[in-house]
Structure 1
Amino acid sequence: MGLVGGGQGAFIGRVHSIAGTLDNRAALVAGALSSNPEKAKASAPDYDISANRAYGSYQEMIDAELKLPVGERVDFVSVATPNHTHYEISKAFAEAGFNVICDKPLTFDLAQAEELAKVVARTGVVFGVTHNYTGYPLVRQARDMVRSGELGDIQAVRAFYIQGWLRTRLETSDQKQAAWRTDPARSGAAGCFGDIATHAYNLGRFITGLIPDTISAHLKAFEPGRQLDDYGTAIIRFTNGGLGTVTASQISHGRENDLWIEVDGTKGAIEWHQEEPNKMIVRKNGEPHRIYTRAGGPYLGDTAGRSTRIPSGHPEAFLEAFANVYTAVFDDIVLRVEGKSFDGAKSLYPNVADGVDGMNFITQSVASSADGGAWKKLHHACCR
């Protein structure tokens, strides 16, 4: 495993390193941990990366790793950097033949995402995108229930991601995460909607498989002086006639990482909350509500079971879900190394097409909001 980003003061890079090595299927052995060469090398001991594989830039990392025998090179690279760098870094590694796991959103804008998808198709590398909430066992259980028809035809999806950490102008302090996430030059065209609404949207797509048709969105920066949205809501029309809503906030008092989703079908409904991830509510008209628990019994399918590590009653959460995305990517990397065919579109991990879908969601949400909430086409050729 190689890591780009994650230097001193970063958050998500450490998460990637833990998730990628949690099941002992990979070891972190190389990294370009910062865009500042001195900081990059100074951060290496924090990850137990030896000095000779602590690189000052991602290009230096590519050049040096390619000089190693094939069996000694990193098998994949995790990109855990600010949004505006995802494209150039991911593209460079993919074109050099390295498998890539990239943080979301996939790129800075839709055009970059579409181009990156072409690069991945041309090079044949395995490419994952860490919409990590798809890794929770009960999220995967919900997906299986939809696909088996247990909930009937899906009519409505409501997804929310509510935070409060940007209630004040935190970006004017020395808070690194707030600074780049609210900067359009580094974050992209959207703030809150690009940062967390994409997770809510992806979660709905992952569970239901519904194909989006059109979107109407309203995004707003409530905090005075902020350049990008800190609140937004969108209505989505799906091609099957169903409706969806996505609401995201980073200015709601006292809220932490309150991501939740509700799915209504003709035969039943589910409700799942990320802050209480080890249970899911299942409702069917005229019947008592059921509480499904992670690893709770024979009512859970094989997919949820394979996504669980410890007995029910011992909580599993964010890091384990993140690791489940990595595990699914690893399965395809092994197939590629063995010279066997793989199909990321049929795997459980979000792939480059899902990344393009997420960038299209951001792009059309911003366009709709700028046009007074006018309906914009959301369907994209990448949708699966």
Structure 2
Amino acid sequence: MKTWPVGMIGGAPGSFMGDVHRRALALTGQFSLVAGCLSRHPQQALEAGQALGLDPARAYTDWTRMAREEAARPDGIALAIIVTPNAMHLPVAAAFLDAGIPVLCEKPLALTLEQARHFAIRFEEKTNDMIMAYTYSGYAMVREARRLVQTGALGALRGIQVEYLQDWLADADSDGGWRLDPRTGGAGGCVGDIGTHAFHLAEFVSGLRCEALSARISHLVAGRAVPDDAQIQLRFADDTVGGLWVSQVATGCGNALRLRLFGEKAGLEWNQEQPDTLVLSTMDGCQTHIARAGSAVPTPSLLPRGHPEGYLEAFARLYADTAGLLGGHNAPLLPRLDAGLRGQEFIEAALESGARYGAWTALRT
């Protein structure tokens, strides 16, 4: 099995997302972290590189130099992984794409839709080289739910409900860091941070595109510059209706991402906190619990049934798809640049609708 050399920008040891990405890389056995610019502070960047065992010559203090020098090396990185605050996603991605190095980037794509559109136009020919870390599309049972919808197990869809609830910002004194600063995290707050995940999940599984939305955007903790709760009505193609509730102040909720789809024949539910099971319900009151890696589930798994797959395995599946892509294989379920642009359109439409007291607002593509 080929091992691909990769580099990371941001994500020094001890950072949540940096550690998650490194663990997921290790699970695949198909990548080796060989370079990094792991902090914007030069001394911390060097110390982080040393802590991770990087060659000192490839522990960079400047990501533009990293892109240039890695592109010139015969053993240079095959993928740049971006785990910086949101404001840095586009400039860092642009430097590596310009150097001919594919990118896997945390979401959201940018701070504004205008920025995202300019970027998409500039790199239109490299859209497949820009991978977005919409993690939840990597869960095996999310992909199985998508397959069930496509094969007609639910019949024609009528409704889509998705919610993503957390409580880590419920306390007024919670330290949200750069995520609560619109200059570094963007104006979307919870809509950009986790709402984009929920929105991507709804479209990914249903196969439908949201055409318009009506949003109530709230700052439930006084004094915050960005929203911490949003309740949004969705209107999909084919007259399918839906709703999305996203909150980071939902007391008692850890990472409660739940998707429900309702069709003419059946309903289907997936819950991220119990990720190995789908619940298929019919009008006669019967419920079928579909277990990952069961004999009736053709969607591939990383582990045998009864050995839980979770967040890290979902990330690992995205990285396994990425390894296939780097090796010249198709990876049709891997989120690309268009998924990042779509998420940015969702954020802007939600904020616009909220500012107009819930007026229905069209998504522009």
Same fold (TM over 0.5): yes
Shift of 1:52: 1.4
Where 1:244 maps in the other structure, the secondary structure is strand
Equivalent residue in structure 1 for 2:10, among 5, 12, 22: 5
Equivalent residue in structure 2 for 1:216, among 205, 214, 237: 214
Shift of 1:125: 5.3
Aligned to 1:247: 245
Q: Distance in 1 between matches of 2:315 and 2:128?
A: 21
Q: Distance in 2 between matches of 1:109 and 1:326?
A: 27
Asked if 2 retains the 8 angstrom alpha-carbon contact of 1:21 and 1:28, the reply is no
Structure 2 counterpart of 1:323, one-letter code: A
Q: Distance in 2 between matches of 1:93 and 1:119?
A: 13
The reply to whether residue 134 of structure 1 matches residue 137 of structure 2 is yes
Aligned to 1:146: 149
* Structure 2 unaligned residues grouped into runs of 5+: 1-5
Runs of 4+ in 1 over 4 A off after TM superposition: none
Shift of 1:15: 1.1
Summarize deviations over 1:99-138 as a string: whole Å, max 9, x none.
0000011111112212222233234652210110011111
Asked if 1 retains the 8 angstrom alpha-carbon contact of 2:128 and 2:337, the reply is no
Equivalent residue in structure 2 for 1:16, among 21, 27, 47: 21
Aligned to 1:166: 169
The reply to whether residue 39 of structure 1 matches residue 44 of structure 2 is yes
Asked if 2 retains the 8 angstrom alpha-carbon contact of 1:219 and 1:232, the reply is yes
Structure 2 counterpart of 1:372, one-letter code: Y
Equivalent residue in structure 1 for 2:345, among 360, 370, 375: 360
The aligned runs of 1:236-275 (5 Å cut-off) are: 236-275=234-273
Closer, same or farther in 2 for the Cα pair 1:353/1:235, shift >3 Å? same
Equivalent residue in structure 1 for 2:291, among 290, 293, 314: 293
Structure 1 counterpart of 2:186, one-letter code: G
Q: Distance in 1 between matches of 2:173 and 2:141?
A: 34
Shift of 1:363: 0.4
Where 2:28 maps in the other structure, the secondary structure is coil
Structure 1 counterpart of 2:355, one-letter code: A
How many residues align? The count is 360
Aligned to 2:201: 203
Closer, same or farther in 2 for the Cα pair 1:330/1:233, shift >3 Å? same
Structure 2 counterpart of 1:362, one-letter code: I
Asked if 2 retains the 8 angstrom alpha-carbon contact of 1:212 and 1:379, the reply is no
Equivalent residue in structure 1 for 2:188, among 187, 190, 195: 190
Shift of 1:151: 1.1
Aligned to 1:121: 124
Where 1:240 maps in the other structure, the secondary structure is helix
Equivalent residue in structure 1 for 2:307, among 305, 308, 314: 314
Asked if 2 retains the 8 angstrom alpha-carbon contact of 1:126 and 1:329, the reply is no
Asked if 2 retains the 8 angstrom alpha-carbon contact of 1:94 and 1:125, the reply is no
Where 1:29 maps in the other structure, the secondary structure is strand
Where 1:28 maps in the other structure, the secondary structure is strand
Where 2:222 maps in the other structure, the secondary structure is coil
Where 2:259 maps in the other structure, the secondary structure is strand
TM-score by length of 1: 0.91
Asked if 1 retains the 8 angstrom alpha-carbon contact of 2:68 and 2:99, the reply is no
Summarize deviations over 1:294-330 as a string: whole Å, max 9, x none.
1122x212xx22xx12211111100000111111122
Shift of 1:8: 4.2
Instruction: Determine what percentage of the aligned residue pairs are the same residue.
Output: 33
Structure 2 counterpart of 1:324, one-letter code: R
Equivalent residue in structure 1 for 2:77, among 61, 74, 78: 74
Closer, same or farther in 2 for the Cα pair 1:251/1:24, shift >3 Å? same
TM-score by length of 2: 0.95
Q: Distance in 1 between matches of 2:51 and 2:349?
A: 40
Aligned to 1:324: 317
Q: Distance in 2 between matches of 1:12 and 1:263?
A: 30
- CA-based RMSD of the aligned residues comes to 1.4
Where 2:188 maps in the other structure, the secondary structure is coil
Asked if 2 retains the 8 angstrom alpha-carbon contact of 1:215 and 1:365, the reply is yes
Summarize deviations over 1:21-71 as a string: whole Å, max 9, x none.
3211111110000111111111113322221110002112112212311xx
Q: Distance in 2 between matches of 1:379 and 1:44?
A: 42
Structure 1 counterpart of 2:7, one-letter code: G
Where 1:105 maps in the other structure, the secondary structure is coil
Shift of 1:230: 0.6
Aligned to 2:58: 53
Closer, same or farther in 2 for the Cα pair 1:240/1:368, shift >3 Å? same
Asked if 2 retains the 8 angstrom alpha-carbon contact of 1:3 and 1:33, the reply is yes
Segment drifting more, 281-290 vs 230-239? 281-290
Aligned to 2:3: none
Structure 1 counterpart of 2:336, one-letter code: N
* Structure 1 unaligned residues grouped into runs of 5+: 336-341
Asked if 1 retains the 8 angstrom alpha-carbon contact of 2:120 and 2:127, the reply is no
Shift of 1:169: 2.9
Structure 1 counterpart of 2:266, one-letter code: G
